[in-house]
A and B are shown apart, each in its own frame.
Chain A
Amino acid sequence: MTSVLKPMKLPAVLASALVLAGCVESIEGVSPTNDPAPVRAIAQDRGRDAGSLTQLEAGIWVDPDGCQHWIVDDGLEGYIDARRDPVTGLPVCTPIAPPGSIVGDAGAGAAGLRDWVPNRR
């Protein structure tokens, strides 16, 4: 069997993994756990743009059926949830923009990190 990693490179690989982990820890305020049932998520963002999640700024995304969803770009996290009529709970599907569109500021600029988007070929 041939190993992809040469033994002498292993320390370097380990070191870069540690650097990467440290980077995520310092940016997002997370750490590894051995707890079998940890608190997996909380009401605070402890990352670079730390703050209470009650303060999120939302835009609107129009889905392919034309119905609206609140969309929030909070840096490394993204949130999306249906917009529902407060009185009847019905979906809100008024034609404010073509399907697929994001309307308004979903907050990407204010999240403390440059916004990265998927590669397109």
Chain B
Amino acid sequence: MRVLSPGLRSVFVTALAVVSTVMMLAGAASAQSGGGVTGTIEPGIWIDPDGCMHWVADGGVEGYMTGRVNPENGLPVCMEMNTCAVANTDTLFATDSSRLTSAGRAHLEQFFSSAGAFAYAVYGHTDSRASDEYNMGLSQRRAASVAAVARSVGARVAREIGYGERRPRVPNTSAANMQQNRRVEIVCYR
């Protein structure tokens, strides 16, 4: 195999980059001027067993489907039907602690023994007090504590993630809202 000298190679790469840029620009122009709207699709919404929405349309002898996402954050748009459990962390843990209270542990053991899903995802969240970094660590440790209870009763944990204060359920504008944001969410993968 022949090897290009470094100088030649850089010329070659530059030429390739120029050619591909020109081709991309030409492609974009033709896509814009190439005839405009060529049809419409009037989709319905199909809701999957997890509660998430999908755009769906029947073209006669073709079928089309794509997941509906929130344009702001790219997350799927879902009904709240399969978030198996949302536990407020005030009842599971002491403030700033990832050690479960005995009542909290008993509650979780009972839940994971009876929910009957194939696997579980555990997500920890905090309110916006304290630093982002601290809250990421705290929510991760709390998710890990909850996941450990699941495993202790033989349940399979698919993932355990701490999101800190980055995914609030409601704006952190009042004490009541902050309480709603301090939570552990458990999703059941059935």
Q: Could you pull out 29 A-B pairs where Cβ atoms are within 8 angstroms?
A: A30-B60, A41-B42, A42-B42, A42-B43, A43-B45, A43-B57, A43-B58, A46-B60, A53-B57, A54-B46, A56-B46, A70-B48, A74-B63, A77-B62, A79-B46, A79-B56, A81-B65, A82-B67, A84-B67, A84-B76, A85-B187, A86-B76, A87-B83, A87-B121, A88-B123, A89-B69, A89-B74, A89-B75, A96-B118
Chain B positions near chain A (C-beta within 8 angstroms) = 37-52, 54, 56-67, 69, 74-76, 78, 80, 82-83, 118-119, 121, 123, 156, 158-159, 161, 163, 185, 187, 189
A45 touches B (CB below 8 Å): yes
Known: A38-B39, A70-B54. 14 other contacts (CB 8 A): A30-B61, A41-B43, A42-B44, A43-B44, A46-B58, A54-B44, A54-B47, A74-B58, A79-B65, A80-B65, A81-B54, A81-B67, A89-B75, A94-B158
Query: Which chain B positions have C-beta within 8 A of A40?
Result: 39-41, 57, 59
Query: Which chain A positions have C-beta within 8 A of B161?
Result: 88
Chain A positions near chain B (C-beta within 8 angstroms) = 24, 28-30, 36-47, 52-54, 56, 58, 70, 72, 74, 76-90, 92-94, 96
CB distance from A39 to the nearest CB of B (A): 5
CB distance from A89 to the nearest CB of B (A): 4
In Å, the complex CA distance between A53 and B60 comes to 12
Q: Are A28 and B61 in contact, CB atoms less than 8 angstroms apart? A: yes
Q: Are A28 and B50 in contact, CB atoms less than 8 angstroms apart? A: no
Query: Which chain B positions have C-beta within 8 A of A94?
Result: 118-119, 156, 158, 189
Query: Which chain A positions have C-beta within 8 A of B57?
Result: 40-43, 53
Query: Which chain A positions have C-beta within 8 A of B75?
Result: 88-89
In Å, the complex CA distance between A45 and B119 comes to 35
Q: Are A53 and B58 in contact, CB atoms less than 8 angstroms apart? A: yes
Query: Which chain A positions have C-beta within 8 A of B39?
Result: 37-40
Query: Which chain B positions have C-beta within 8 A of A88?
Result: 75, 121, 123, 161, 163
Q: Are B159 and A90 in contact, CB atoms less than 8 angstroms apart? A: yes
Tell which of A74, A92, A96 has the most Cβ of chain B within 10 Å: A92
Q: Are A76 and B61 in contact, CB atoms less than 8 angstroms apart? A: yes
Query: Which chain A positions have C-beta within 8 A of B41?
Result: 39-42
Tell which of A43, A84, A87 has the most Cβ of chain B within 10 Å: A87
Query: Which chain B positions have C-beta within 8 A of A28?
Result: 60-61
In Å, the complex CA distance between A87 and B65 comes to 21
Query: Which chain A positions have C-beta within 8 A of B159?
Result: 90
